[in-house]
Amino acid sequence: MSLGARQIEEAGIPTVVIGSARDIVEECGVPRFVFVDFPLGNPCGKPDEVAMQHSIVGLALDSLEKAFAPRTTVQAPVRWDDVDPDGWRERFMHVGDDNRQLLADAGAERKRLQEEIRQRDTSTEPDREG
């Protein structure tokens, strides 16, 4: 993403990267970066937290307008969890005896749903031989 943003900038199109891997993104030298201290894969906030997502995207749009120095980093003033702001680091991607079966069951359910969707999609495709 970071290298792509640099290429787009060279073509004259302003960019802003929203992300969590601060060290990697800053090392690539993107022109504008909104750092969000969240688990990877969640740069715009928690799922279904629309107000949080709007605030992060708004901050990114503001940085397009206001960042005049190259390689500007803005830290989003949001927390993953107000009660335990850094607790997600201990729990993120945790697999242990306390959740192994729950995760296995969720994975099996996801595979079942994907197969169901695949079966439905192949059964509704138009006949191409006619």
Greatest alpha-carbon pair distance for the chain in Å reads: 62
Per-residue model confidence (pLDDT) at position 28: 85
Helix (H, G, I), strand (E, B) or coil at 3: helix
CA-closest candidate to residue 34, choices 53, 52, 51, 57: 57
Amino acid identity at 93: M
d(CA 121, CA 23) in angstroms, rounded, equals 42
d(Cα 69, Cα 47) in Å, to the nearest integer? 32
Q: What is the pLDDT of residues 37-70, one digit of tens each?
A: 888 888 998 889 999 999 999 999 999 888 877 7
State the residue for tokens 């079942």. 112
Q: Please give the Cα distance from 96 to 129 (Å, whole number).
A: 51
Q: How confident is the model at residue 129 (pLDDT cuts 50, 70, 90)?
A: low
Distance of CA 115 to the CA centre of its chain: 26
Looking at residue 77, what is its pLDDT? 92
